[in-house]
Structure formats: C-alpha cells, structure tokens
C-alpha cells in the first residue's frame, strides 16, 4: 500500500520541480529584427528600434522579464533603456504577454557613439523571475557593428572654409562737392554776391585741386537749375531754363579761364515740388502735415498750388522761409579718387607696409595665394592697427586651414575681444566649437553669424553633426567640399556626391576615402579599390580604418581589397 502511494507522489514532485526550474529556455535570434538592420551613427548617437517576439508557451504566467539592449565591444559596453514584460497572472502595469499565444513587442535604444563601436555586437540581455525565483534566459545577439560614416565629419571639417574679415579697399572712390547759386523771385540773373559767396569760392578751389592731383580725376560738373513751385508752370519753365543757361555759361567761362577740361552737364526743373516736400517735412511750419497730405492727394501742379494757397494761415511762412530756398542753381563737382595699383600695394606690403592704410594692407593679402606671405601681411596689420579685429580673424583662418585649431581658436578669441559682434568671428568660433564636438555652442555662435559669406557652408557642417542630412545638403548647395559630399552620401544622393568629390579643389585622403564609400554603396568595385588605394597612399592610417569599416563588409573576401590593408 505504501509502495503504491510512493510512485505517483514521486512523479508529482518531479513535475513540480521541473516547473520551478531556474531556466525558462533560450530565445533564437530569429525572434528579433532591428531597424536599421545594420546600426548606424547619426548625430553622435546610435539609434535602433528593436522588434521582438516571445514565442508561444514561453513566458510563464507568473513571470516578470526585464529586457535590456546592450552594445558590446572589446573592452566596453553601453546599455540602453530596459523594457519590462509580465505573464498573464502578474498583477502589475507592464506589457502582458500571453503564455499560450506569445506576443510581439517594440523597444527603442539610443547609444552615445564611441569609435570602438565600429566593431561591436548588439545583444538583448534578460533578467527574469517567476515569483521570487530567478530564471535564466541566455542573452541573444541581434546585430553586428555600427556604420560610422557620419563621424567622418571630424575629419572633413578641416576642409571647411572659415570666414574672412573682408577689406573695404576701393581703387576708385567716387566723391562729390556741391555749391548753390541763389536767385531772387522771378529772376534769372547771376548776382555778384552769389558768385563771390564762400561756397562758390570753395567749389572753384576744389575743382582746381582735383584737376591738379595725380590721384584724382574730374568726372563731370553738373548744373541743376530750379524754380519754386509758385507762379505757374509756363512762367517757371522759362525761369528755370534761363537760370540753367546763365549758370552753365558762367561755369564754362570759369573752366576756360582756369584751363580745366571738364564735361559740363546741365538740366532744369520747372517746379521743384520734390525739393518743396523735403523742406516742408524737415521744417516746423504750422499745418505741416496738412501740406504734405495735399502733396500726396494731388498730382496736378496747378491744383497743388491752389490748395496750398488756400491754407492762408501758413502760406506767408512758406513764401518767406521755404520757397526762397528753391530758387537756385546747384553746382555739383563729381570726381574720382584713384588708389594705388595692385603692383604698388604688393610692393609696399613687402617693403614698407607703413605706407599703406588698413584697408590697403588687408587687400594686399588677397593679392597672393602664398599662406606665408598672407601671414606676414596680416601680422603687420595687427601691429599697425591693433584695434581692428579683421587681421586677427584672418590669421586665425590661416591657422585653421593649416590644421592648428588651438592657435586658430586663440586668434579668433582675440578678434572677438575687439569686436564680439563680428559675424565672421562668431562663425569661425562656431567651427572651432563644432570641431570640439560642442554642437550646442556651435549652433549658438552660428546663430550670431548672419551676414558671413561662408555661413551656409558652416551650417551644412552643423546639420551633418546633428544628423539632419537633407538640411545639410540644402545648406551646402553647390559647395564642393568633403563635408558637402559626406552630407550627400548620408542622404543617399549618390550622383551629386560623385560630382562634388570630383570637383573638390584640393582633394585629400578623405576625398578618396569618401569616393571609396560611394563606390561601395553603388556596387562599383573598381571605384572602391582605386579610391581606397589613393586614400591609403595619402594617409596609411586609413588602411586600419577600412579594415573595420562596415561600409566595405561585402569586400572582406576580395583579394584586391585585402591586399590594400596589408
């Protein structure tokens, strides 16, 4: 009787122990997919969406399972956000998974990128309990490696174009000098008091000086004669024409006496309503706004005159103070100041820079492509004109282009201390911040760089760093740089990327490396091999990078490819 009871009881215990086993089972990688299928660095992050499945009759009804994505590489790992799931009999607020049917789930992870992730593996790790007992679920590998092409920005950023502090040099500067001859009402004769006025004497003196100066040349002398808008169109036309003729004749005689050959252009305005409106608007006359309103309402000159005369309270003031100023001939000397030639400026910059003003000195640096000569010229400019920011900024640009970012930053900061609002300085400091990986500071500085000619290119680099590739492509527009091509590759505009890389002015190792990536993405094996060979010849460290770069994963068994990596 005891033996008969013992065997069923033993079987019951065995079953009970089996159901309380500390191992729930293994999950195959077939139950998981990732999007993207191959992880990729975007804006300094590695985002991934994981779609998983608990199969039928897997999750114990009393189980709680924590699922954590972990990206592992040699010597390190990064953990993502844990998701928690529960069996049907657990009274909690996690996602419930049916024991009989199983269940699907989606979770997201976003890892901070580090270069070691290029050779890494993405796992899901599980921590499960049934009641108070821990249950083992082995980790599952669901993805291999990280495509890190976007991180090439750190290498292509050196080819960005820093902003220049532009010179304001003008070889030909247009100047003008004016004087007025005033007339009495309804008269056109030139009075001696007017011809001997201080302003006419000064005009004749300036004409003579300009005519004699070796670096100045008279363009022309304009005579503009006017009549005030009172008195009717017919009368004023004849009056203004006579004033023009008399003034032009006088000026011709003066030029002839002084033996000055200059073009004389003359014209007249019968009724100077424009001058009238300007003088009224600047005056304090009574009913000023009413007068200006009449001028805007009526275009016919006779009607204008009638309406203004009807404002009897103010007309006498106009007749005494405004209208006399419109009875005149205006004489305008137009002349050009001609600056030094390029050859003169270049020679002085090298031999005697103190003979050049600031604008000429800054301009001198644009006349050579030799960085050493430019450096010497800008250094002289900082010594002679230490309170102008542009030479410091431009020295910083030269240092940036030479790859010395520490020196460049120091010079840009000196420029900022002189003029913190200069758009070119803020843009260049933004590039420095971007090179340091400080995207927030870079964005703030570039926001203060409106007006810098090179700003769109810098914004393109910022957008690449932020992972906004379409915006980057638009910002770069037709700029032919490594960074522009990188943006186009990342946005999958491969035809445009090839055109850009082909037209890079000074191609370097990374120009070739990007062309190799482009070849890999477009299944052009010959482009991959030839471009990668050229890149490695220019920078042999790229062989090691290519060996772990998932862009070239399909060529890992290609003998030509492997030969380049030795």
CATH number (domain holding residue 76): 2.60.40.10
**Residue 216 and residue 282 share a domain:** yes
> What pLDDT sits at residue 312?
64
**Residue 309 and residue 185 share a domain:** yes
Residue 228 lies in a domain: yes
**Residue 128 and residue 34 share a domain:** yes
Residue 45 lies in a domain: yes
How far out from the chain centre does Cα 189 lie?
61
**Residue 265 and residue 122 share a domain:** no
Domain boundary among 147, 163, 189: 147
Residue 523 lies in a domain: no
**Residue 283 and residue 186 share a domain:** yes
Contacts by 276-283, CB closer than 8 A, 24 or more apart: 276/228, 276/229, 276/322, 276/323, 276/326, 279/322, 279/325, 279/326, 280/318, 280/322, 283/321, 283/322
Domain boundary among 311, 338, 365: 338
Closest by CA to 425, choosing from 441, 443, 411, 407, is 411
Residue 557 lies in a domain: no
**Residue 331 and residue 217 share a domain:** yes
Spatial CB neighbours of 220, under 8 Å, sequence gap ≥ 6:
262, 263, 264, 265, 334
223: CATH: 3.30.1330.60
Distance CA(37)–CA(115), nearest Å, equals 19
> What pLDDT sits at residue 63?
95
Distance CA(256)–CA(136), nearest Å, equals 111
**Residue 194 and residue 138 share a domain:** no
Residue 181 lies in a domain: yes
> What pLDDT sits at residue 231?
79
**Residue 332 and residue 202 share a domain:** yes
Residue 510 lies in a domain: no
> What are the angstrom distances between the C-alpha of 88 and each of 58, 107, 357, 408?
12, 20, 85, 64
Residue 277 lies in a domain: yes
**Residue 177 and residue 115 share a domain:** no
Residue 18's CB: how many other CB atoms inside 10 A? Answer: 8
Domain boundary among 107, 130, 147: 147
Q: How many domains does the chain fold into?
A: 2
pLDDT in tens, the chain (566 residues): 333 433 343 333 333 333 334 446 789 999 999 999 999 999 999 999 999 999 999 999 999 999 999 999 999 999 999 999 999 999 999 999 999 999 999 999 999 999 999 899 999 999 999 988 999 999 999 999 999 999 999 999 998 999 999 999 999 989 999 999 999 999 999 999 999 999 999 999 999 999 999 989 999 999 999 999 887 888 999 999 999 999 999 999 999 999 999 999 999 999 888 889 999 889 888 888 888 888 888 888 788 888 888 876 777 888 888 999 999 999 999 999 998 999 999 999 999 999 999 999 999 999 999 999 999 999 999 999 999 999 999 999 999 999 999 999 999 999 999 999 999 999 999 999 999 999 999 999 999 999 999 999 999 999 999 999 999 999 999 999 999 999 999 999 999 999 999 999 999 999 999 999 999 999 999 999 999 999 999 999 999 999 999 999 999 999 999 999 98
Residue 526 lies in a domain: no
Contacts by 303-306, CB closer than 8 A, 24 or more apart: 304/229, 304/273, 305/229, 305/230, 305/232
The model's pTM: 0.76
Spatial CB neighbours of 144, under 8 Å, sequence gap ≥ 6:
38, 120, 121, 122
**Residue 307 and residue 196 share a domain:** yes
Spatial CB neighbours of 421, under 8 Å, sequence gap ≥ 6:
448
Cis omega (within 30 of 0) on the bond before 263?
A: no
**Residue 203 and residue 102 share a domain:** no
Angle between helix 525-538 and helix 509-521 axes, rounded to 10 deg: 160
> What pLDDT sits at residue 527?
97
Domain that holds residue 243: 172-338
**Residue 257 and residue 210 share a domain:** yes
């Amino acid at each position: 009787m005891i033996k008969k009871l013992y065997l069923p009881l033993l079987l019951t215990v065995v079953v009970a122990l089996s159901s309380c086993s500390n191992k729930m089972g293994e999950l195959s990688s077939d139950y998981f997919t990732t999007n993207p299928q191959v992880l990729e660095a975007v804006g300094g992050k590695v985002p991934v969406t994981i779609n998983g499945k608990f199969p039928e009759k897997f999750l114990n009804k009393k189980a709680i399972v924590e699922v954590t994505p972990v990206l592992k590489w040699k010597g390190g790992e990064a953990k993502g956000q844990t998701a928690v799931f529960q069996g049907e009999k657990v009274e909690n607020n996690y996602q419930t998974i049916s024991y009989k049917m199983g269940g699907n789930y989606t979770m997201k992870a976003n890892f901070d990128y580090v270069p070691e992730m290029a050779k890494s593996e993405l796992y899901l790790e599980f921590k499960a309990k049934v009641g108070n007992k821990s249950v083992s679920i082995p980790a599952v590998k669901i993805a291999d490696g990280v495509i890190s092409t976007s991180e090439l920005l750190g290498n292509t950023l050196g080819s960005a174009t820093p902003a220049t502090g532009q010179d304001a040099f003008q070889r030909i500067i247009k100047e003008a000098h004016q004087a007025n001859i005033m007339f009495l009402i309804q008269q056109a004769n030139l009075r001696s008091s007017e011809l001997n006025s201080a302003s006419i004497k000064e005009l004749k003196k300036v004409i003579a000086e300009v005519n004699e100066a070796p670096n100045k040349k008279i363009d022309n002398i304009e005579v503009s004669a006017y009549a005030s808008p009172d008195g009717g169109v017919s009368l004023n036309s004849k009056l203004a024409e006579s004033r023009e003729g008399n003034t032009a004749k006088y000026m011709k005689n003066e030029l002839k006496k002084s033996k000055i050959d200059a073009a004389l252009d003359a014209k007249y305005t019968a009724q100077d309503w424009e001058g009238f409106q300007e003088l009224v608007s600047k005056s304090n006359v009574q009913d000023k706004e009413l007068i200006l309103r009449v001028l805007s309402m009526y275009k016919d000159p006779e009607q204008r005159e009638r309406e203004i005369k009807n404002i009897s309270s103010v007309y006498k003031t106009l007749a005494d103070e405004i209208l006399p100023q419109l009875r005149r001939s205006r004489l305008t000397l137009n002349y050009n100041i001609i600056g030094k030639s390029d050859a003169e400026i270049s020679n002085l910059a090298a031999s005697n820079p103190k003979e050049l003003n600031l604008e000429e000195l800054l301009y001198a640096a644009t006349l050579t492509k030799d960085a050493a000569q430019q450096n010497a010229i800008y250094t002289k400019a900082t010594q002679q004109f230490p309170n102008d920011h542009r030479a410091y900024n431009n020295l910083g640009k030269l240092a940036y282009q030479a790859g010395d970012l520490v020196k460049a930053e120091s010079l840009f900061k000196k420029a900022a201390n002189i003029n913190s609002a200069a758009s070119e300085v803020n843009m260049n400091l933004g590039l420095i911040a971007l090179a340091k990986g400080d995207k927030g500071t870079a964005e703030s500085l570039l926001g203060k760089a409106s007006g810098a000619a090179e700003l769109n290119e810098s914004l393109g680099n910022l957008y690449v760093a932020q992972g906004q590739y379409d915006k980057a492509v638009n910002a770069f527009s037709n700029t032919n740089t490594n960074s522009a091509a990188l943006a186009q590759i990342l946005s999958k505009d491969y035809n445009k990327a090839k055109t850009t890389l082909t037209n890079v002015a000074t191609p370097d190792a990374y120009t070739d490396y990007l062309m190799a990536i482009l070849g890999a993405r477009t299944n052009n094996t010959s482009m991959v091999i030839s471009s990668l060979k050229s890149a490695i010849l220019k920078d042999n460290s790229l062989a090691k990078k290519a060996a772990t770069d998932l862009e070239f994963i399909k060529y890992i068994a290609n003998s030509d490819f492997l030969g380049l990596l030795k």
